[in-house]
Structure 1
Amino acid sequence: MNSISQHIARRLESEGGIESLVDDDGWSKPERRKLLRRLGVSFFLFGLINNVLYVIILSAALDLVPPSTPKGIIAFCNIFPALVAKLGWPYLLKGRIRYARRLVGCTAISVGGMMVVALFDTLYMRLLGICLASFSSGLGELTFLQLSTRYHPPSVAGHSVGYFASGTGGAGLAGAFLWWELRGLGVRLGVGFSSILPFVIPVTYFFILPRPDKFSAISSDDEDAEGAPLTASYTRLPNEEAVEESVPITEGEAIATAPIALSMQDKWKLAKPMLTKYMLPLFCVYLFEYTINQGISPTLVYPVPTADAHWLISHIIHSIRDYYPLWQLVYQTTVFLSRSSITLGLPPLPGRLLSLPAIVQGFILTILAFESAVGILGDENEGMSFAFVFLLISIEGICGGLAYVNVFYRINQEKHDTPGEDPERAKQEREFKIGSIGLADSTGILIASLLAVPTEIELCRAQVGRGKMFCKSL
């Protein structure tokens, strides 16, 4: 136990960087592959565990609140606190990020929130627990993305982001599957067992994740995202604990060693160019995507297929209540595949095409809404309509996943350093830029959750107007 404590203490002390442990000649190829494998596994687990509780909460919505309570309140409590975290931390927090302390704090909040949900039966206490878990998830996501910027060269940083995105995609499938298996135990035991999952994060951080200085000896001729050579190599920073706990210094020395912190003016200057380049495409993708998932998909229901007319579909759909879970499964599967595109070796989207997924999503939203309201292929062609919707939702998931992984990959690969710039300031700028982007997707989800309710009501009303009553019996 003492050795574990010493290991964690050493990791906490390394937040500001330590002396390189690599030889001047660099790492051999097997050692490099081993390091990259550990890095990929670590960031995949970070993405998976950080997002899986969000999916479990949504999957358990029917079991967490009374039948008379709108299920949309679960979605709201599951996203609004995360939005607060993504808005507050990058824009309001100043100075260095203490990653170890922050992640231990996120773990404690997640575990506490899930335990509140499990141990209390009242609606308000459960909503409080969901809010705590949501806040922790939002803070965790931006922290892991910021952590990826500490790895150099850029190919290693991109490796981190790719695996993190893949993990977040896998969380959709893992969370739905876990609750499917645990729901038979009831809320108290099922959610209680889920509260163990966040402990994977500190274990991974302290014992699996390689420190950034491990990669400092890897020589690379990497270029930035737009093809321009990098202007500055990675510079190790002094140990932050040593700076904080150093002996008193004179007034003259304080000028050179004063801690660096970005001002609000500095942050706005960094964020302004990203509004249309990164934030707007990501915002639109999530706005369209979650409006489809929460407002349109519930109304995409058709008659239960018979074995004679539709042999394959009849083995999947046994009641009209099976359509919505199926659409969610199709969506989560394609999101996972597309978020894993970079880790699977596919090239990232060019920077000029980052808005393309949002444009495609907008067309898909319009077509699916039209299909729900009037039936493009006619109500008598259920098989063709089913295949048509299946295809569109698959493309929706692909676009959503591609937008997420490519936006964060591209900003991670941007050239941040300028010659002569203080390395600590450059590090904080990289961390702020990638952390500030998360505001866009959470805002899109929140607005979509507000639009989804009237959208579903109006589409159902349109179906009833043409004699299709399935949405009324769900």
Structure 2
Amino acid sequence: MEQTNSVNADPAPTSDRCTKGRNWTGFWVLGLCNNFAYVVMLSAAHDILNKQEHENSTSSASVTSAHGLQAGNSSNSSVYDCNPTSTAAVLLADILPTLFIKMLAPFVIHRFPYGYRILFCALTAAASFFMVSFSSALWMSFLGVILASISSGLGEVSFLALTVYFDRDVVGGWGSGTGGAGVMGAVLYSGLTQLGLTPRVTLLIMLVIPAAMVLSYFFLLVPPPSMPQWSTKDPPCASLCSEETQGLMDSAEDEDEDRTAPGRAVMVKGPLSFTEKIQVLKGLLKFMIPLGMVYFAEYFINQGLMELLYFPGIFLSHAEQYRWYQTLYQVGVFVSRSSLCCFKIRQLWLFALLQILNTVLLVFAVAFRFIPSVWIVFAIILYEGLLGGGGYVNTFYFISKETEERHREFAMALASVGDTMGICLSTALSFPVHNYFCSL
């Protein structure tokens, strides 16, 4: 009889494990697909600008003379072999729309069901690949980059908020997937172009990614009944947690070590007021400020300094060096964003401090050119990615853990403004730094 009871009791835990596994995998794929176009546009930044500058140089002799271009070379006068336009210009187009979306969306996005949001994200990502692939002018390339930014920004806000309807472990899946996007995007772009495919063909091959996003969301995830898929009327509190969602979250909290913590807030029905949202924002600053500092430092490296860390006369061309810098950075991001299953670091300011020190080192390396080998720069860029990914995934894990259930969906969506703001500030600094060194 005992054996029979044991056998009969097995299917439920097995089904629960299967559901958790599907949801973790689903968020991993969604994280990968959401960040893929964004990563590819940054990896292609040097090629996008070089292509347009080359076309400009061959179509107008006066433009060639003004920029000092000969036979399509981006710069013959600077020891840094710079494009006349900094790769930060691509980053600016890639991040400004994301910033506006992240600042505004948490206050209004609950009016749009998740299903429609995900379809819109997939369509704009596909359009970005098409636009950049077939661009014949710089403005078309930048429009494609902007579409990728819209897709990534809206997707990040939506998917981070969506995690509150599932087991908390999916935050780790999402973080790992976004790191995987960096590796796959950079490696595929670098690898396929190195094999001889043109950037246009490479970008068209990547149209499979938006399709994978749609398939993963609609067929791989096992959503709870409370999730507002196609309608905001059910549940009535779609912008936050409904009573059903709250029940799910309470069940998950019962398994947490801090479920009996004193002073636990009691759930209040209804959506958050504007005053409550401002209070949540104030409480998030301890997470958003260090995250913003981490991203300010690392994107200043990526788009302000990386193109300038050029070693002439080696086995890699300048374009290839830039691509592999981006690839190694993304490898570091992937490893650290996948680290939640092994360890967690609550000291978020540590990531910011170490990344700033990294930036100072590379600024002096660009200015005085004292690093003797590209392999040393490869190691530093890999370390930079480890710090950036670690800061991101630990920030959102501890926001999920330490925020009240009633505020969690709004907090997860809003906190992503921190990294985007840091990237925007780094872009503003990258332009004058690029121009200064390229004028030498």
> Shorter-chain TM-score category?
0.7 to 0.9
Q: 1:182 to 1:279 in 2, by over 3 A?
A: same
Q: What amino acid is the match of 2:309?
A: L
1:126-205 pair list within 5 angstroms: 126-151=141-166, 156-157=167-168, 159-180=169-190, 183=193, 184-186=196-198, 188-205=200-217
Equivalents in 1 of 2:159, 2:388: separation in Å?
20
SS of residue in 2 equivalent to 1:212: coil
- 2: distance between equivalents of 1:138 and 1:338? 21
Query: Counterpart of 2:342?
Result: 346
Correspondence for 1:50: 34
- Report the CA distance shift for 1:94/1:394 in structure 2 as closer, same or farther (over 3 A): closer
Q: Return the alpha-carbon distance in structure 2 between the equivalents of residues 175 and 399 of structure 1.
A: 19
Out of 118, 121, 124, the position equivalent to 1:106 is: 121
Pairing of 1:233-248 with structure 2 (within 5 A): none
2:88–2:303 Cα contact (<8 Å) kept = no
After superposition, the C-alpha distances for 1:22-44 in whole angstroms (9 at most, x for unaligned) are xxx89644323222211111011
CA contact (8 A) 2:91 2:303 kept: no
Change in Cα spacing, 1:27 to 1:141, as seen in structure 2 (3 Å) is farther
Could you say if the C-alpha distance between residues 394 and 179 of structure 1 is closer, same or farther in structure 2, counting changes exceeding 3 Å?
closer
Candidates 362, 365, 368, aligned match of 1:374: 368
Number of the residue aligned with 1:328:
326
Report the counterpart of residue 106 of structure 2 in structure 1: 90
Report SS of the residue matched to 1:272: helix
Cα distance in structure 2, aligned partners of 1:131 and 1:354: 30
Residue 201 to residue 327, structure 1, CA distance change in 2 (3 Å): closer
Tell me how far apart the structure 2 counterparts of residues 191 and 389 of structure 1 sit (CA, whole Å): 28
* One-letter amino acid of the structure 1 residue matched with residue 399 of structure 2: I
Match of residue 399 from structure 1 = 387
Alignment equivalent of 2:352, drawn from 358, 368, 376: 358
Partner Cα distance (1:27, 1:337) in 2: 34
User: Structure 1's 112 and 393: CA in aligned 2 closer, same or farther, altered over 3 A?
Assistant: closer
Inter-partner Cα distance in structure 1 for 2:360 and 2:32:
31
Q: Could you say what the CA RMSD is over the residues aligned between the two structures, in angstroms?
A: 3.1
Q: Secondary structure at the match of 2:165?
A: coil
2:140 to 111, 125, 130: 125
User: CA separation in 1, counterparts of 2:253 and 2:90?
Assistant: 49
2:256 to 222, 229, 246: 222
Which deviates more from structure 2 when the two are superposed, residues 66-75 or residues 42-51?
A: 66-75
**How far did 1:78 drift?**
1.2
Deviations 1:158-194 (A, max 9, x none): x111111111111112112332455555455443332
Shift of 1:447: 1.7
**What is the CA–CA distance in structure 1 between the aligned matches of 2:401 and 2:437, rounded to whole Å?**
42
Equivalent position to 1:442, from 420, 423, 434: 420
1:117–1:129 Cα contact (<8 Å) kept: yes
Change (3 A) 1:213 1:45: same
Aligned counterparts, 1:379-394, within 5 A? 382-383=372-373, 386=374, 388-394=376-382
Match of 2:59 in 1: none
* 1:442 aligned partner, one-letter code: T
Contact 2:351-2:388 at 8 Å conserved across structures: yes
Q: Could you tell me how far apart the structure 1 residues matched to 2:119 and 2:318 are? A: 44
From 254, 262, 276, the counterpart of 2:272: 262
Contact 1:224 1:415 in 2 (8 A): no
Q: 1:189 to 1:395 in 2, by over 3 A?
A: closer
CA, structure 1 residues 178+234, in 2 after alignment: closer, same or farther (shift >3 Å)? farther
Distance 2:138 2:310 in 1: 31
Flag the 1:63–1:304 CA change in 2: closer, same or farther, 3 A: closer
2:336/2:389 contact within 8 Å kept: yes
Unmatched 5+ stretches in structure 1: 1-24, 236-255, 306-316, 418-425, 465-474
Contact between 1:90 and 1:436, CA under 8 Å: does it hold in 2?
Answer: yes
1:355 aligns to what SS in structure 2? helix
5+ long unaligned stretches in structure 2: 1-8, 57-83, 227-246
On the 8 A contact 1:296/1:459 being kept in 2, the answer is no
| Separation in structure 2 between the aligned mates of residue 394 and residue 414 of structure 1, nearest angstrom | 30
Q: CA deviation at 1:115?
A: 2.9
Q: Which residue of 1 aligns with 2:222?
A: 210
Deviation at 1:72, TM superposition (A): 3.4
CA distance in 1, matches of 2:144, 2:222: 33
Structure 1 pair 261–231 and aligned structure 2 pair: CA distance change class (3 A): closer
On the 8 A contact 1:26/1:219 being kept in 2, the answer is no
Q: Is the Cα contact below 8 Å between 1:361 and 1:396 reproduced in 2?
A: yes
Instruction: Report whether the alignment pairs 1:272 with 2:288.
Output: no
Contact 2:124-2:147 at 8 Å conserved across structures: yes
The residue that corresponds to 1:16 in the other structure is none
Structure 2 CA distance for partners of 1:57 and 1:395, relative to 1, 3 Å: closer
Residue number in structure 1 paired with 2:3 = none
Q: Is the 8 A contact 2:179 2:338 kept in 1?
A: yes
Using the size of structure 2 for normalisation, the TM-score is 0.76
- Report the CA distance between 1:405 and its aligned residue: 0.2
Alpha-carbon separation, structure 2, partners of 1:324 and 1:407 = 29
TM-superposed CA distance for 1:230, in Å, is 9.6
Partner amino acid for 2:410? F
Please tell me whether the aligned partners of residues 94 and 263 of structure 1 are also in contact (alpha carbons under 8 angstroms): no
Over 3 Å counting, the alpha-carbon distance change for 1:365 and 1:125 in structure 2 is closer
The letter for the 1-side match of 2:303 is: Q
Q: Quote the sequence identity (%).
A: 34
- Give yes or no for the alignment of 1:288 onto 2:272: no
Q: How far apart are 1:90 and its partner, in Å? A: 0.7
Which of 97, 106, 109 pairs up with 1:81?
Answer: 97
Q: How far 1:404 moved relative to its partner?
A: 0.3
For 2:254 and 2:213, how far apart are their aligned partners in 1? 30
